[in-house]
Amino acid sequence: MVYVYLQTMSRLSCKYLFIAFCRDLGNAGISGPLIPDLGGLKNLQYLELYHNHLNGSIPTTLGNLTNLVSLDLYSNHLTGAIPTTLGTIGTLRYLRLYKNKLTGSIPESLGNLTNLVILDLYSNHLTGAIPTTLGAIGTLGYLRLCKNKLTGSIPESLGNLTNLEMLELQKNALNGAIPSSLGNIKTLKFLKLNANMLTGTVPLEVLSLVIAGNLTELNIAKNDLAGTVRSSRLRVTTIIQDMMKTT
């Protein structure tokens, strides 16, 4: 039996909400900060608090939840940095923190989550470079980092994610070339790199995924890429691009 104590805050009162046998607390109207005491629930496997009114920072003590499989805190009002301690939860398979107000960089320690299937951090205020360590998560099938303020180049190491089906890096400030190593991801179905500052040409290795792989959408619009791309008629494929430079 797992008991979860949550503190809910209002203007008039502060009370404890006692919930037993509950895995999913999404859309429950819970408000206030996440209490550090949650880190003491050592046997907790699912912490589902999405679509609530949570504020404040994510407690570093959540790194003590060494049996956690899913951490879903998306669509709240959480602020501050993503704790590096989350990288110690080796059992974690789903980490979804999107649609908050998180700041700072993406912790390199997340590369230690070698059982992770979904990493979704989109629509925050994250800055800095995409950690090269994310390329070590061979189980990853879904990586969404779009609508942040990320800078630097796309790591070559992401080409090691050979189980990835969706890679969404659009609407950041990424620069440099599109890595040819992304062509190693034969499982990739959606590749969205639009609205960045990418330069160079689209690697042939990446374009080959349209024919030899499973790619069904490639969005590279609103960059500074050179060359042209033609859509293959061999499969239902959408390629979205600007009028690309030919000189």
Among candidate residues 103, 111, 145, the one with its CA nearest the CA of residue 127 = 103
In the chain, where the domains are located = 25-244
SS3 201: coil
Angstrom distance (rounded) from CA 164 to CA 138: 8
pLDDT of residue 239: 61
Burial class (CB in 10 A: 0-12, 13-18, 19+), 178: buried
pLDDT of residue 212: 82
Contact 173, 151 (CB under 8 A): yes
Provide, for the chain, the percentages of residues in helix, strand and coil under a 3-state DSSP scheme, each rounded to the nearest 5.
20, 30, 55
Using a CB cutoff of 8 Å and minimum separation of 24, what contacts does 48-53 make?
48/23, 48/24, 48/72, 49/6, 49/25, 49/73, 49/76, 50/26, 50/74, 50/75, 50/76, 50/96, 51/26, 51/27, 51/75, 51/76, 52/25, 52/26, 52/27, 52/28, 52/76, 53/29, 53/77
25-244 CATH pick, 3.80.10.10, 3.90.800.10, 3.40.605.10, 3.40.50.300 = 3.80.10.10
pLDDT of residue 13: 28
247 residues of the chain, pLDDT tens digit each: 343 444 443 322 233 333 323 467 888 899 999 999 999 998 899 999 999 999 999 999 999 999 999 999 999 999 999 999 999 999 999 999 999 999 999 999 999 999 999 999 999 999 999 999 999 999 999 999 999 999 999 999 999 999 999 999 999 999 999 999 999 999 999 999 999 999 999 999 999 998 888 999 999 999 999 875 544 434 435 566 665 554 4
pLDDT of residue 177: 97
Angstrom distance (rounded) from CA 194 to CA 207: 15
SS3 22: coil
Q: Report phi then psi at 206, rounded to 5.
A: -75, -45
DSSP calls for 30-43: -EEEPPGGGGG-TT
Contact 1, 23 (CB under 8 A): no
Handedness of CA 53, 143, 91, 87 (dihedral sign): negative
